[in-house]
A and B are shown apart, each in its own frame.
Chain A
């Protein structure tokens, strides 16, 4: 009953100040939109780095004089490692075959070359669950000390760079988040202040005839709740639509296939909506405090 009255009053207020309400909602929406785009970028970069890291794996080159009968025991040793998901042995001949395949039409440059000239190697895929750059580095160092191993290779520099970059993006996300939070809070409280200011005579009179603060604030808080909810949902909706659009691109384009973009995890999405709502409601309550004395 009281909730129904509250909502009726909120909607009648809403109709009266429709323009101001729309503008506030738009500001909330725009702020969240910018923030959400950065967040999306960050999660995709993170996603990409993680995938890239696991897919890169390690390549372990053996010394040329490693006897063939050592291979199975080395294979065993590698599969026994907890970080390792899958081990593939690439013999000198196979490596040579790959090179030939890679060169295609120009493979005659390899004419007369000894098929054994490439060292045999192991290709290791890292277990996704345990992927951690530090551990992989450590592992590479250890394997490098084995007498049969001549060199351990992995895209460490690349991964390092990507991690630095994604750290940078995270910092940007956090900073824009905070800045936009303040901007949105500032605009929301100011619009509310203007609306309340324009109607302070009315609110004062309500108080004089015995209205509680909750009665006066109620409709404003409902409006703020709706603004926060609609504003953030709209923004996230736009981000989601763009995400689906990019996904369509990805499916069509050879270059992007396999990049596999991801959306902001759902609990982050929920957190963004919740904080937007909270921000609007708290901002409104604070902005109105001044008008509700005596």
Chain B
């Protein structure tokens, strides 16, 4: 038995179907400990992104209960969802950057929505941009950046408000070996500082030699 207190994410009998013949999850039970770093893997289209989307309430499950940081998601009203999301940093598979804002402003958005002071926000954005090696491009617009650079902006935005949970959806999908290595180091560092990380990827190499837990999605279930 895993004690309830230590698990920050818990799913119980979660189903998700878009239509009767499009069933993504058929009964998922899962517990993730506070401070854990898990990999979520499985073939393309199996539902990795959907799982993450359900966890930050961008999608509601068809049935089942989900607890995130002590909150039952089904009890959250639309108005409460933003407050949950502030505890979760999401690195989107498709980046979701604002094309009409500079890199700096894109990263600052996470801090802007929580009403952090301008000075403090600026300091943190600079710090994070330095971490992903994009200080020189902070006044550029996303569309003028390479895929890998855009991905690193997405990572910077997800971690800038120091969330306790990080949901990373293929954060290394567009990166070369060296950049991938750097992102993995960054993730390790964030995890070492206490963040719980769910890392969705289909790239087996990333967790080949790891001691971390690997959750394999297949046919709507998790196999460990």
Our verdict on whether A and B bind, yes or no, reads yes
Binding site for B on A (CB under 8 A): 2, 5, 201-202, 205-213, 215, 292-294
B2 beta carbon closer than 8 Å to chain A? no
Contact B113 A211 (CB under 8 A): yes
Q: How many residues of B contact A (CB 8 A)?
A: 25
Q: Please, could you name 30 A-B residue pairs with CB atoms under 8 Å apart, sorted by A?
A: A2-B115, A201-B98, A202-B98, A202-B100, A205-B96, A205-B109, A206-B113, A208-B85, A208-B92, A208-B96, A209-B90, A209-B110, A209-B157, A210-B82, A210-B83, A210-B86, A210-B110, A211-B82, A211-B113, A212-B83, A212-B113, A213-B78, A213-B79, A213-B82, A215-B82, A215-B113, A292-B78, A294-B57, A294-B60, A294-B78
Contact B98 A205 (CB under 8 A): yes
Within the assembled complex, what's the spacing in Å between the Cα atoms of A206 and B115?
Answer: 13
Residues of B contacting A202 with CB < 8 Å?
98, 100
| CB closest chain-B residue, reference A215 | B113
Within the assembled complex, what's the spacing in Å between the Cα atoms of A215 and B100?
Answer: 19
Interface centre among A207, A210, A213 (most CB of B within 10 A): A210
Residue of A2, A208, A211, A213 near B58 (CB, 8 A) is: A208
Residues of A contacting B113 with CB < 8 Å?
206, 209-212, 215
Shortest beta-carbon distance from A274 to chain B in Å: 28
Contacts A208-B90, A209-B85, A209-B109; is A5 near B115 (CB within 8 Å)?
yes
Shortest beta-carbon distance from A88 to chain B in Å: 74
The 10 closest A-B pairs by CB, nearest first: A211-B113, A210-B85, A210-B86, A212-B82, A210-B82, A209-B110, A205-B96, A210-B113, A202-B98, A215-B113
Residues of A contacting B161 with CB < 8 Å?
210
| CB closest chain-B residue, reference A206 | B113
Within the assembled complex, what's the spacing in Å between the Cα atoms of A40 and B14?
Answer: 65
Residues of B contacting A2 with CB < 8 Å?
115
Q: Is the interface of B mostly helix, strand, loop or mixed?
A: loop
Within the assembled complex, what's the spacing in Å between the Cα atoms of A210 and B96?
Answer: 14
Residues of A contacting B59 with CB < 8 Å?
294
Within the assembled complex, what's the spacing in Å between the Cα atoms of A208 and B86?
Answer: 9
Contacts A209-B109, A210-B83, A215-B82 supplied; 7 other A-B pairs, CB < 8 Å = A2-B115, A205-B97, A208-B90, A210-B161, A293-B78, A294-B57, A294-B59
Residues of A contacting B60 with CB < 8 Å?
294
Within the assembled complex, what's the spacing in Å between the Cα atoms of A248 and B85?
Answer: 64
Shortest beta-carbon distance from B76 to chain A in Å: 11
Binding site for A on B (CB under 8 A): 56-60, 78-79, 81-83, 85-86, 90, 92, 96-98, 100, 109-110, 113-115, 157, 161
Within the assembled complex, what's the spacing in Å between the Cα atoms of A210 and B98?
Answer: 15
Within the assembled complex, what's the spacing in Å between the Cα atoms of A212 and B80?
Answer: 8
Residues of A contacting B114 with CB < 8 Å?
210
Shortest beta-carbon distance from A114 to chain B in Å: 93
Within the assembled complex, what's the spacing in Å between the Cα atoms of A252 and B188?
Answer: 88
| CB closest chain-B residue, reference A16 | B100
Within the assembled complex, what's the spacing in Å between the Cα atoms of A293 and B76?
Answer: 13
Contact A294 B98 (CB under 8 A): no
Within the assembled complex, what's the spacing in Å between the Cα atoms of A205 and B153?
Answer: 14
| CB closest chain-B residue, reference A2 | B115
Within the assembled complex, what's the spacing in Å between the Cα atoms of A207 and B109?
Answer: 11
Interface centre among B56, B82, B96 (most CB of A within 10 A): B82
| CB closest chain-A residue, reference B100 | A202
Residues of A contacting B110 with CB < 8 Å?
209-210
Within the assembled complex, what's the spacing in Å between the Cα atoms of A201 and B94?
Answer: 13
Contact A294 B58 (CB under 8 A): yes
Residues of A contacting B57 with CB < 8 Å?
294
Shortest beta-carbon distance from B167 to chain A in Å: 11
Residues of B contacting A207 with CB < 8 Å?
82
Contact A212 B79 (CB under 8 A): yes
Contact B81 A294 (CB under 8 A): yes
Residues of B contacting A294 with CB < 8 Å?
57-60, 78, 81
Within the assembled complex, what's the spacing in Å between the Cα atoms of A207 and B81?
Answer: 9
Within the assembled complex, what's the spacing in Å between the Cα atoms of A91 and B123?
Answer: 98
Shortest beta-carbon distance from B219 to chain A in Å: 27
Shortest beta-carbon distance from B168 to chain A in Å: 14
| CB closest chain-B residue, reference A9 | B112
Shortest beta-carbon distance from A219 to chain B in Å: 12
Within the assembled complex, what's the spacing in Å between the Cα atoms of A293 and B60?
Answer: 12
Shortest beta-carbon distance from A276 to chain B in Å: 29
| CB closest chain-B residue, reference A294 | B58
Residues of A contacting B78 with CB < 8 Å?
213, 292-294
Shortest beta-carbon distance from A189 to chain B in Å: 21
Within the assembled complex, what's the spacing in Å between the Cα atoms of A247 and B56?
Answer: 66
